[in-house]
Every structure is written in structure tokens, then in C-alpha cells.
Structure 1
């Protein structure tokens, strides 16, 4: 009966899920452009106000996996509905300026609601659509989520041009209300898919471990990766990971079933998700510097050039889902990696005289590869687990995306300045204004490294596919 109801309302269910997923992703990027304005409005130093953005990322990542498990135990629709309410109410209160501490608390609550929706969305879609339509649904879902991540700066700039910074948060409220109403009407009644008790201690250790990891990564960027605070948090992360593994081995109903990782499709797809999202962030960080500081292109033109590859990704993703349904996810995933190899090798060939049309071509391959990557990878992850593990799988997908983006932001600077330092013959962390050719060397060095990473991933994918066919 549940399947019949889902089939009748499946695209309405898809709309309800995607609306909140879009806003949850949008609000992580839209706030960045408002930070200088908020800094002045609240009389808070710029370095301090960045925690308005960082706190959202940290709290979201802390609770993605626990809420994914709770979705399996208590019902994914129930967790999702509660998350929409929390997210919407917190968005309203985020826009009320009662001081910096108030904003941080509300952002943490907003992130809590976001993690409830982001950890269950792919699971709900997987349960709603048949295997024959799952690629199209998950591909379209990936397209809309990608739109949320790229629309933030543009929409935020438009809002700030016409309205106070408070509306950066209040824009979520009407969309959230629509999602709440639609969810109450079309989402199925919450049904638990996994029996058993909640592993409370395992969840607590997992939450603190994720918090320690992402807090350490963010503080490491600010204080340095040899700083005491970074090293202490990384040691704490390792200790908590060991504790978590030992707890889960003895738990009757563990938060995470480590046997899931014995499935090569599941493990390889999560690893690929981390790498692809990470390298996307490398492109997003390095290319604006190249365009604006090396080529002296205006910010608005640079923005138009850089938005080309996300737009292609958004267009291609649903089509990639249809291709996955028709020709198989493994084949489309391999093709997507081939496109990404071409994109990175192309970017590695760019210098300060490269025609902008050629640069757009290579960025277009980034968008094409990403668009083809999303649907088959999501399908491979979600199809690799049983129904009672869909929430955990959905949470791991979200966790992998956020891990990739965070690690990508770190390694973009590490690789870039490693290349620059190699060319200069001494260590530096500053843009070489007097030697623009040195930046080009660092940029090309970075993209040759990312090319090599994708080549290795492509080889592994081909070997796995070959073994599967001959098994």
C-alpha cells in the first residue's frame, strides 16, 4: 500500500523533499556574502563573524549520520518533517539581531534542522521511486541541490542590494512553510524500517568525533596545520574514532554497520563523492584568483565565466539519471570520471594567454563530468544497502559531500602554494604579485595533481567493472 501511495504522489513527495534540501544547501552559501555587512551591523570583527558560516557547517556534519540512523529507526518521513519545522523557525529567529551569541545559537539550531532533512532526503526518494525511475529522481535531486550551492552568492547579493541582511535568513521562511504544508499532505506516514534500540553511546561518540574533525579542519585553516589546537583536535578525533569502532563492534544495534563498507560499490562511490566534491572546491577557489588577479578580469565577468560549469551540471544531472536507468550506473559513472580527467588536464594546460573560450571549454567539461557523476553515484550508494539502512546511507552521502568540500578548500591552498614555493625556490603563502608566471606554475601543478587523482579513481572503477563482468 505504501508503494502504491508513493507511486501516485511520487513527484509531489520529490518536490517537498527537494524544496527543503535546496534551502538547507542554499543557506550554507548565501550567508558568506553577507558576513561583512553582519560584521558591521553587530560590531563584531570579520575573523569572528565567519563563525556564523562555520558553525552551520560543523553542526550539520555532526548530526548527519546520527539522524540518518534515527530515520531508519523512527521513520525517515518523521525525522524529515521535524527537521523542516526546526529549520524554518530557526531561520526566522536568525534574522532577528539580538547579538552575535544569539545568531550563533540560532545558526546551530538551524543546522540541526538542516541535518535532519539532509540525512533523510535521499532515503525518502529511494523508497518513493522504483529502480527503473530512481536514477532520474536522484539525478534531478542532485541537480537541485547543486543549484542551491551555486545560487547562494548571486541571490545573497541581490537581497543585500535591496534589503537588510536579515532577509538572507528570512528568505528560507516562506519556502519552509510551503515545504511543511506539502510534507504534511504528501509524505507517507512515518514507518520504522529498522528494528532495535537506539545506540545512544555510539551516537554521542560519533557526534563528538565529527565535531572534533570539522572543528579541527576549520581551525587548522585559520591557525595553521602545525598549531597546537589543530593537532589536539586531530588526536581527539582519532581517539574518538577508536572508541566508536569498539563500541559499534559490541553494540546489539550499532549506529553504523561496518559490513556496509565491504560492498565495493558502496565504498568506492562514497570515496569518489569525497574526491569529486573536494576537487570541485579546488576549482572554485583557484579559478577566481586566476581570473581576477592574474588575468585582471572584472568580478562580474569572472562570475559569469565561473557559473558556466554549475549551470551545465544542473542541466546534465537529470539526463544522467535517465542514462543510468537505461544503460547502468557503473558505465555512466566511468564516463563521468573520464570527462573529469579531461577537465582537469585541460585546466592544467591553462596559462595567462589562454583564450577565455578555451577556459570555458575546460570548465564546461567540469560541469559535464559533475553532472554525469551525481546520479549514478547516488544510485550505486542507495542500491547497495537494504531498506533498513537507507537512512544511514543517505547520511553518509551528505557527510561525504561536506567532507569533500571542507578538505578541498584546505588542499586547494596547500597544493597551490606548494607549487608556487617550488617555482620560487622558497616557501611562501602569499600571491606572487611581481611574478604572475609563478602563480601559473602553482595552478598548473595543482591541476596535474587533481588529474592524477581522477586517473587513479578511473582505473579503479574500470578494474572493478571488469571484475564484476567476469565474476
Structure 2
């Protein structure tokens, strides 16, 4: 915006945007703990009920990029407001048990609303705050979104202890209503920043490409990665992606301007987002197994240990935003990757005799690295594009986060059981109860691999920093 609002109004705009972003992220994780209860209530199998969670992820990812482009064409605040209403109304209807098909449809509509908010939130914040405050704003935004992703299981468990499963969804309604009212009061009009006709066919191909990719990844986890369904969907994804690139290079107003990826800051930051979010999920999946099955630690104590790194992340993220504003995003992003490398190297040394205090130290480095990572990376992505591409950039950030989480969940299991199988001398996909030492080998193997990936990313960041200084 040319005339940015005063400081107080900026933070009210920030609050309105963050409220729905928090709930959109929360609802993707809070539902997991309620699936067994919902399975019994609807009289469907465990494999069926998991689609209540999977459908939300798939639909959200399918529409993130298209709605980002529509935000540029019609105004990001307008798309965000409509998404807020759709998400809130669908959340209410998700809590009404009219059968399995009903809730799948409502979850898809809820995800549609969520994708409208998640694809425009970073763009609205970027336009609202000046460059001097952008790091603090995007860092604070990152910490709240992170809180939504980690608070789900704990909050969901608390709700289910005292209330029926429908309240897992109805918790969104009052927050959504506040966000709707606040949004109407404070969100600026935000005129369209891009002109031209909608590339409808390109959007359709992009939606099908994302749907095929995430449907394939989820079914690959369930059916196996040698299954014909998975292979077919991956082939379809490759064909659709090729068609999309062909169409977009010839479109007068493309959904995706591939010239953006020539910017090293833009491309490297999106890649880093995929990898860091993926590695976070590796930690989130493996460490509970280590604590509860290998160390036989109670669930409540394990939960307290595992919450240590997200809490540090949430506290550090706004401070990292301030550091980015003061010392530069490139420098802070590089330091964050160094912290994450230390965390993975430390976790790769953990065994069944490691003290819990030492484990918390390495998890603390995970939180510290992630906290430092969010703000500078978001700033680098959003500052790399022109005003008419902010919606697309915001959508790509959301898409990168979801891609990272999905791929991380897959490779956590692949790497873990590859390491276990190498130690046992035969293939297995189960926890080795008779040989718990094999699990330690698998866990250490996984974290050495993630450390190497982060180290390569660190080298790429350092090289990019040097090349920028020399030009």
C-alpha cells in the first residue's frame, strides 16, 4: 500500500489475520486425536476416518496457489474475508453428525476457506508493514502459525476429556466470528495489485496437479510406494506439471510467473521452507516413539519434553524478526540453519542411556533454529517479489510448508525403518520390540541424514550470500 495505516491499526490488522491463520493451522492437527472417537460415532473403519484429516490437507494444498493469484487479481483482503466466512460456517457444520460423507464434504469446504486465508495472510501483512517492521511482523506471524500446528493434539485431548468430539470443530466458530467482525472493522480495502483476465485453464491444471501429488503421497503412505495407485498418481502428477509449465509459459496472465524462481533468495528460501518443515516433522514423529516405546516414559512426561522445542520456537520467532530488521535476513537465516545442523547432530548421538536433560538440550536447539528461521525466510520470500505477485508468493509459502510436513512424515518412516532394517539384517516396518537397540540405530541414521541435508542447504545459503556481496 502507498499509504500504510498507523502503527496501532497495523497491529489490529495483524491480529485479524493471525486469528484465522492460527485456527486454520490448528484444525489440521487438532482433529487427529479425535479420529478414534469419530470412527466409533460414525461406525466407520479406521482407514476410512483418516480421510477426515487427509481431505483437509489435500484440498487446502490444491487451492493455495490459485487463491494466492486471485488475491492479487481481486484484492487479498477480499479473498481473506470470504475465506474467513466459509471456514467459520463449515466449522459449525463439521460438528453436526449427519454421517461420514457429510463430514468429508464439510471438511473439504472448511479447507477451501482455510486455503483462502492461508494464501493471502503473508501478503496482507507484507503490504501492511513497512520494511523496517516487516521482520518483526512476519516473525510474530510465524510463531503464531507454529503454535497452531503444535497446540492441536494437546488442546484436542483436553476438549475430548470433558466435551464431545463436535467441539473439536465448534471451537473455531467463536474465534472465526471475532475474526470476521474484526476483519470488517480494520482490514483495508486493498485494491487489486495485478490486472488481466483469469487464466482459468491454467488454474484448473494447477489444482489437479496439486491434488494428484498430495493424494498420491497420502495413498503411498497407506498402500506402499510400490503400489500401482501411487505410481499412477505420480505419473499423472508429472504429466500435469509438464502441461502446466507449458501452458503458463504461453499464457498472457499466468497463474505462476516462473521468472520468480530466477531470484535465488526466492527459490532458496522456498526450498529451505520445504526442507526445514519436513525435518521438523521427522523430529515430531520419531521422538515420541523414542521416549514412549524405547525409554518407556509416560505419555504426559513425553509430552512435556516434546513441547520444549515448540515453546522455544514461539518465543524466539518475534525476536528473530527484530534481528532480521536490524542485521539483515540473509545473516539470520544462515545462523538459523547452523543451529538446526547442531540440533540434528546432537539428536544423532542420542541413545537409550542419554539423559533427558541432554535430550532437552538438543530439542532446544531445534526450537532455537526454527525460531530464528521463520522470520528471515518469510521476509526473503515476500521481499523478493513485486507488489503484484505478493499473493502468489504468500500461496507458495503456504504450499511449501504443507509440502514439507507431508514429505517429512513420509521420509521419517522410510529413513527410520531403513536404518532399523539394516541393523536387523532383514526388512521390517514395525518397532523392533525384541531388539530396541535396532531402533536407536535407525533413529541415529535418520538424524545423520537430516543433518547432511541441512548442511548442504547451509552451504547453498552461504554461497548465495557470497555471490550477492560480490555483485
State whether TM-score is above 0.5.
Answer: yes
1:82 maps to which residue?
Answer: 82
1:399 is the counterpart of 2:375: no
Map 1:147-162 → 2, pairs under 5 A: 147-162=147-162
1:137 maps onto 2:137 in alignment: yes
Which ranges of 4 or more aligned residues in structure 1 deviate by more than 4 Å?
none
Aligned pairs for 1:202-217 (under 5 A) are 202-217=202-217
Counterpart Cα distance in 1 of 2:124 and 2:5: 13
Q: Map residues 103-118 of structure 1 onto 2, 5 A cutoff.
A: 103-118=103-118
Deviations 1:56-102 (A, max 9, x none): 00000000000000000000000000000000000000000000000
- Partners of 2:397 and 2:4 in 1: CA distance: 27
Give 1:53-202 correspondences, 5 Å limit.
Answer: 53-202=53-202
Write out per-residue CA displacement over residues 362-409 of structure 1, whole angstroms, 9 at most, x where no aligned residue: 000000000000000000000000000000000000000000000000
- Corresponding residue for residue 361 of structure 2: 361
Looking at structure 2, the residues matched to 208 and 4 of structure 1 have their Cα atoms a distance apart, in angstroms, of 37
For 2:239, the equivalent position in structure 1 comes to 239
SS at match of 2:256: coil
Offset of 1:233 from its aligned partner? 0.3
1:52, 1:119 → 2: CA distance? 22
Q: What is the CA distance between 1:142 and its match in structure 2?
A: 0.2
CA contact (8 A) 2:4 2:128 kept: no
C-alpha distance in structure 2 between counterparts of 1:4 and 1:408, whole Å: 39
Name the residue aligned to 2:443. Answer: 443
**Using the alignment, how far apart are the partners of 1:259 and 1:355 within structure 2?**
50
Measure the CA separation in 2 of the matches of 1:282 and 1:8: 39
2:226 matched residue in structure 1: 226
> Do the aligned residues in 1 keep the contact of 2:4 with 2:129 (CA within 8 Å)?
no
Q: Mean Cα displacement is larger for which, 423-432 or 398-407?
A: 423-432
- The answer to whether the 8 Å contact 2:95/2:170 transfers is yes
Spell out, residue by residue over 1:118-173, the C-alpha distance to the aligned partner (whole angstroms, 9 max, x if none).
00000000000000000000000000000001110111111111110000000000
Instruction: Rate the CA distance shift 1:109–1:6 in 2: closer, same or farther, 3 A.
Output: farther
Relative to 1, partners in 2 of residues 1:165 and 1:256: Cα closer, same or farther, differing over 3 Å?
Answer: same
CA distance in 1, matches of 2:244, 2:6: 36
- Given that 1:6 and 1:129 are in contact with CA atoms closer than 8 Å, whether structure 2 keeps it comes out as no
Pairs within 5 Å for 1:4-43: 4-5=4-5, 7=7, 9-43=9-43
Three-state SS of the structure 2 residue aligned to 1:253 is: coil
- SS of structure 2 residue aligned to 1:5: coil
1:407-440 Cα offsets, whole Å, 9 max, x none, are 0000000000111111111111111100011110
2:149 and 2:338 map into 1 onto residues whose CA distance is 24
1:375 corresponds to 2:387: no
**Which residue matches 1:297?**
297
- The 5-angstrom pairing of residues 244-323 of structure 1 reads 244-323=244-323
Q: Is the 1:6–1:128 Cα contact (8 Å) retained in structure 2?
A: no
Q: Tell me the distance in 1 between the aligned counterparts of 2:440 and 2:38.
A: 35
Shift of residue 3 of structure 1?
Answer: 2.3
Structure 1 Cα separation of the partners of residues 137 and 430 of structure 2 = 44
TM-score normalized by structure 1?
0.99
Measure, in 1, the Cα distance between the counterparts of 2:155 and 2:439: 31
Q: Secondary structure at the match of 1:196?
A: coil
Distance 2:257 2:97 in 1: 43
Partner Cα distance (2:144, 2:39) in 1: 30
- Could you say if the C-alpha distance between residues 104 and 59 of structure 1 is closer, same or farther in structure 2, counting changes exceeding 3 Å? same
- 8 Å contact from structure 1 (residues 7, 128) kept in 2: no
Displacement after TM superposition at 1:113 (Å): 0.1
| Aligned counterparts of 2:354 and 2:332: Cα–Cα separation in 1 | 31
| 1:5 positional shift | 2.9
| 3-state DSSP of counterpart to 2:3 | helix
Contact kept? 2:24, 2:114, Cα under 8 Å: yes
Structure 2: gaps spanning 5 or more residues? none
TM-score w.r.t. length of structure 2: 0.99
| 1:3–1:128 Cα contact (<8 Å) kept | no
Structure 2 CA distance, aligned partners of 1:138 and 1:117?
Answer: 15
For 1:183 and 1:3, the matched residues in 2 are separated by: 19
Kept after mapping to 1: 8 A contact 2:32/2:153: yes
Following the alignment from structure 2 to structure 1, what is the Cα–Cα distance between the partners of residues 7 and 257?
30
2-structure distance, mates of 1:422, 1:33: 32
Distance 2:431 2:23 in 1: 35
Q: Distance in 2 between matches of 1:153 and 1:370?
A: 20
Once residues 345 and 49 of structure 2 are traced to their aligned partners in structure 1, the CA distance between those partners, rounded to angstroms, is 37
Alpha-carbon separation, structure 2, partners of 1:438 and 1:160: 36
Distance 1:4 1:431, change over 3 A: closer
Please identify, of 329-338 and 183-192, the stretch whose mean Cα deviation from structure 2 is larger.
183-192
Q: Matches of 1:173 and 1:436 in 2, distance apart?
A: 45
The answer (yes or no) to whether the contact 1:2–1:188 under 8 Å persists in 2 is no
In the TM superposition, residue 190 of structure 1 has moved relative to its aligned partner by 3.8
**Secondary structure of the equivalent of 2:249?**
helix
Q: Residues 415 and 446 of structure 2 are in contact (CA less than 8 Å); yes or no, is this contact kept in structure 1?
A: yes
Retained in 1: the 8 A contact 2:29–2:152? yes
